[in-house]
Each structure stands twice: as C-alpha cells, then as structure tokens.
A and B are shown apart, each in its own frame.
Chain A
C-alpha cells in the first residue's frame, strides 16, 4: 500500500534521512522506533508532504507522492497525527473534528462517523462546544487522534501519541490504537514507548541517524537482545 524507497530528506545541508526504505501493507500496523533525533518525525513529515524529499520515492497505491502538497496527500487517503498533538486551540472541539473531515461530503456516513467518535471518546462529546485549547494534554491527544479518524484515512500515521502523558492515559491511548488495529485500519506508528508500541503492532522498523538498521516482526524485535538493550530498557523488565 505505502512503499518508501531509498528516501533522502534534509534540513538545509544536514541530512536527516539517508536512504530510508519502508513498507506498510493494507491492514497492517507498523511501528517505527528510534531514539531522539533519529529521523522518525522527519520520515512522517516527508511522507505527508510537509517536507520535500531530496531523493528516493514514495508510492501510495501506485501514486507517487514525492511532488504532492500536503493537502493533495490527504486527498490520497494519508493522514498524519502530528507530534505534540497540534490541535487547533482557538477552534472548538467540534470544529477540530469537522476540520478532520474537511475534505469529506457532509453525508450520512460523515454524521455516523462523528457519532461513533463521540461514543468512543465521550469526553469529546461533553466538551464539543469548548475551545480545544481548554482540554487537558490527554484529552488533546484523544482529540488529535479522533480528528485524524474523521478524515476516514486509508493510512493513519501517528507521531508519538503517548508523549508526555500520564501512565494511565498512555495505556488508554494504546488501548485505542489496539482497537483501531482490530477494526482493520492501516497504521504507521512512531513511538519512544517501544515496548507498548511493539506489543500492539505487526511489524517494526528500527531507525538510527537516518538509516533503517533493522526490520522484523514485533515478536522478533521484542526478543532481539540489541533492541532490548537500546530501546526496551535492558533485559526484559
């Protein structure tokens, strides 16, 4: 479904991606793990069109995304839930969700999706007329994910959805991701919380300073001693 080959991206003269190849198949949940500054966000930003690739290719369902603008890529069915939530604080919760479905016709299916979101995230229903900036961090992250879902994406990319949240909320976020997976959604997940992320995913990639150094099933990665050492806090805790 999504195929990234030999991708390069840079900030000014500094290369942040040095020939990254990665694949996400329909219905799969794929996790990308790596330490700070490894290039995880850069990869998602390049796929979603926020950054122009310096080389390589991004193909989604046979379409080359390399030269497309972000809004054109959304139209293709890829949605990015940005790092740090990036909700629109001056808009209401409901307006944020409506912006998630910006490109969709306001038909029955749209209204049903909105209804389903409110059932899944009751807190958003209660707060729908409030400014999104008044939500707590955890609620804002729920809103960011819910807004992504409102686009009815064929691929949803999430950049560190558990970042900076209390442990209870982190578990809640991963429960939601597991649920999304069960619904058959295609997910590309970036996480520092590597153990939890690998537990909810099918396959994983490890990125180090702009290079993918490892790709395997999640069980294999969870059992890999180097991965344990570097990303899972030593031998199985």
Chain B
C-alpha cells in the first residue's frame, strides 16, 4: 500500500517537475515569472487530445505533436507578450503574461468548450502486478516519459555547447553576449524547450486524470511556482526533485490524512521549508553575486 502510494506520488510529482523545470528555465534566463506557463500546459493537454480525436494518432505521436505545437505557442508568447515589453519596469512583463493567461483560457473555452473532457481509451489500461504493487500502463508511460525528458534536458543543459550557453546566459546575459552568445536566440530556445515540457506534462496529466479543462493550468502553475521556490530559484535539479517531493507529499497526505487537506498540507510543507531554508532546498542560483 505504501509503495503503491509512492508510485502514485512519483507519477503526479513528475508532471509537476516538468512544469516547474520550465518555470525555472525561463526564470533563470529572463528573471521573469512566466504566469501563463500553466496555460501552455493546459493547451498542451488539448493539443494532445485533439490530435488523438481528429487524426486518430497513437499516444506517442500525440505526445510528440503536442510538444512541437506548445513549443511554437511558447515562442509566440515570448515574441508577442514578452520581448516587446520594456524590462525597465519589472512588473510590466509579469502583467503581460498574466494577460496571456486570460487570453489562453478564454480561447480554450471558446474553441474546446468549458467542460472537463478526457482521452478516449487510446492505450488500453493494462495492470502489471509487481510484487504486491500494481502499476498501470498509463502510469508506466507517464513515469518513463517524464524521467526520459528530464534526463534528456539534463544532458542538454550540462553537456552541450548550447546548453552551456543557456546556463551562461542565465548567470549573466551581458557576459554571455560578450562571449558571442546570441541572447535573443537563447531566450527563444528557452521558451521553446520550457513550453514543450509543459505540453508533454499536459498530455500526461490528461491521460492520468481524464480531467482536461481550460482551467486545469491555474492550480498546476501555482504549485509549480511553489516548487521552483522549494527547489531553489533557477535551479533545474532542484525543480526536478522538488516536483517529485510535492507529488509524494500530496499523495501520502491524501492516503493517510484527510483528502480535503491535500493542498493545504502540500503548501504547508512548502512554507515550512521556506521558513527554515529561504533559498530553497538546494540553494537559489540568482544573478550576479
């Protein structure tokens, strides 16, 4: 039973992680809280769903297709609502992404309707008993996909020239540009990657909970934002681990405490951590000194 809960927690947490990583990447490079990131996640769920409904593709194609479309959506958001806004007034870009949140929610409601919908039985649920634990094929897909994506991202950020440029730009845009890095290019890349991860999370959460709606991004965004704080601002590994921790805490609190206190408990733990470790579990990585 406990192990079963852990697996459920990991599954939920890995979705949180994917979204929190995106937040963290964007915050790292732009010092911007991308408010609409939760809505990019929500759009990702709808894109995946409609790829399945309209084109009868399998779940892998839906996942990949949704990542591509959300990447483009994220890049568009940056181009239209972030880049033209003056960075001199710190609240202006933030407000602008709040605007995007509302626009995307309204657009989704108009286009897809305001009802909660779910994926058709695209991948048949198969239960795999492992010892006294049961894992479904959906759970396996979610865990495997998110861990795979996080591994790829980790290798990209730490082992490639472009990934190193991204970290350099996150530490100091000016210094990176004086070394030959095209900062606009890095920003576009960052929005693309972050949004694709959110899109993937959207499809995975859609598969897991059958509750796709235009408003599913709000709570996710709030939690992922908290996870970013938990993991340490701008710390990618922190966001990964923080997401998994929150997922597990949430599921365990439902199992062993009261389900109605689930979010309160999760946020309570986070507040406690921030009281005792203001820079997050793994230390913030802020700009400059």
Contacts and interface: CB of A to CB of B under 8 A. Distances in A.
Partners in one complex: yes
Given A90-B167, A91-B171, A99 B178 contact: no
B141 interface: no
Interface stretch (B38-46, B71-79, B180-188, B194-202): B180-188
Contacts of B182: 69, 71
Contacts of A49: 177
A71 B180 contact: yes
Given A95-B164, A99-B165, A99-B168, A88 B177 contact: no
Nearest to B184: A69
Nearest to B183: A71
A147 interface: yes
A49 B181 CA distance: 13
The prevalent SS among residues of B at the interface is helix
B161 interface: yes
B168 A74 contact: no
A92 to B, nearest CB: 10
A41 interface: no
Contact of B161 (A71, A88, A102): A102
Interface string A72-107: 001100011010001111110001001110110000
B180 A102 contact: yes
A70 B177 contact: yes
Given A88-B172, A89-B171, A48 B164 contact: no
B178 A74 contact: yes
Interface residues on A, range: 20 to 34
B262 interface: no
Contacts of B167: 88, 90-91, 95
Contact of A102 (B174, B179, B285, B289): B179
A50 interface: yes
Nearest to A144: B175
A100 B171 CA distance: 15
A151 interface: yes
Nearest to A87: B175
A99 B164 contact: yes
Given A98-B161, A99-B164, A71 B177 contact: yes
Contacts of B183: 71
B195 to A, nearest CB: 24
Nearest to B165: A102
A74 B177 CA distance: 8
A94 B174 CA distance: 20
A151 B180 CA distance: 9
A122 to B, nearest CB: 23
B165 A70 contact: no
B95 interface: no
Contacts of B285: 90
Contacts of B153: none
Contacts of A88: 167-168, 171-172, 175-176
A102 B171 contact: no
A86 B175 contact: yes
Contacts of A91: 164, 167-168, 171
Contacts of B175: 82, 86-88
Closest 9 CB pairs of A and B: A74-B180, A70-B177, A103-B180, A102-B180, A86-B175, A71-B182, A99-B179, A71-B180, A88-B171
Interface of B: 161, 164-165, 167-168, 171-172, 174-183, 285, 289
Interface of A: 48-50, 69-71, 74-75, 79-80, 82, 86-91, 95, 98-100, 102-103, 147, 151
Given A70-B177, A90-B171, 7 more contacts: A71-B177, A91-B171, A98-B164, A99-B168, A99-B179, A102-B161, A102-B179
6 contacts: A49-B177, A69-B182, A74-B179, A88-B168, A100-B179, A102-B181
